[in-house]
Amino acid sequence: MISYLKKFRDFREGKFKPELLKEHVSNSEFKKVLKKAEKYYGIKAAVPSKTKKMCLDVAKQKINKIDYQGKFTDNRNVKDEIYQYYAYIQGWGHSKFKGPADWFLEGADEKSSGYDPILAYFYNNHHHKLMDYSYLKWNVTSDLQAAQIVANLRKGQKDVEPAYYLAKDYYNSFGQSHNRNAVFDKVVTKVQAWMDKNKIETL
């Protein structure tokens, strides 16, 4: 069995392939539990509208089509429930969750202002691993970050900072470390691929 450390190193070095993952989670598998949660509580699962818009912005920029090598051969569906929930639990588009564990520390706590019965169902019924598919989580994060970085760039623009420095400035603006960070490396790859496709000329 492949160790998590090796998977992390391979991902960082661009050799990581999704078929090697043992903890693969499909949208259909995720959706099956989501439907059970809806039925149990008698409610409709709801991702914040701003979170959904941010996911759609990823598709608008075609960031979701960029693979780990920077080629436009992938097709992560930003409308999939699992994609949007992964954006939601990481705090994109709302302020209920501040840290990676808040989706269950706050989301599953009935006394918390961030309480969400759907998230509580996943956590309390031992389906929390469905919320922790590393490959997709890293891709959702890097998709959203890359989309924000290129949002103000236009096709054919000149004298733009290289992708690495655009990503570095973005991370620094949020006080995040980019050193030995697999997600950061994916962001750089995606920003570079987008810039190349849109004929952006760097300094």
Counting residues of the chain whose pLDDT is more than 70, the rounded percentage is: 89
> What is the domain range of residue 128?
23-134
Asked if residue 33 is part of any domain, the answer here is yes
Q: Confirm whether 194 is domain-assigned.
A: no
- The DSSP string of 14-77 is T---GGG-SS---HHHHHHHHHHHHHHHTS-----HHHHHHHHHHHHTTGGG--TTS-S-----
Question: Residue 171 in contact with residue 142, Cβ under 8 Å?
Answer: no
54-109 residue pLDDT tens: 999 999 999 999 999 999 999 999 999 999 999 999 999 999 998 999 999 999 99
The answer to whether the Cα torsion of 52, 55, 61, 62 is positive or negative is: negative
pLDDT > 90 fraction of the chain, expressed in percent and rounded: 86
CA-CA distance, 38 to 34, in Å (whole number)?
A: 6
Q: What is the DSSP letter of 189?
A: H
Name the average pLDDT for the chain. 91
Query: What is the pLDDT at residue 4?
Result: 43
In a domain, 184, yes or no: no
Is the residue at 10 inside a domain?
Answer: no
**3 inside domain:** no
pLDDT tens figures, 92-151: 999 999 899 999 999 999 999 999 999 999 999 999 999 999 999 999 999 999 999 999
Residue 12 has pLDDT above 80, yes or no: no
Write b or e for each residue in 18-51: b if 16 or more Cβ atoms lie within 10 A of its Cβ, otherwise e: eeeeeeebebeebbebbeebbeeeeeebebbeeb
In a domain, 186, yes or no: no
Residue 61: inside a domain: yes
pTM over 0.75: yes
Query: Residue 155 falls within a domain, yes or no?
Result: no
Total of domains in the chain: 1
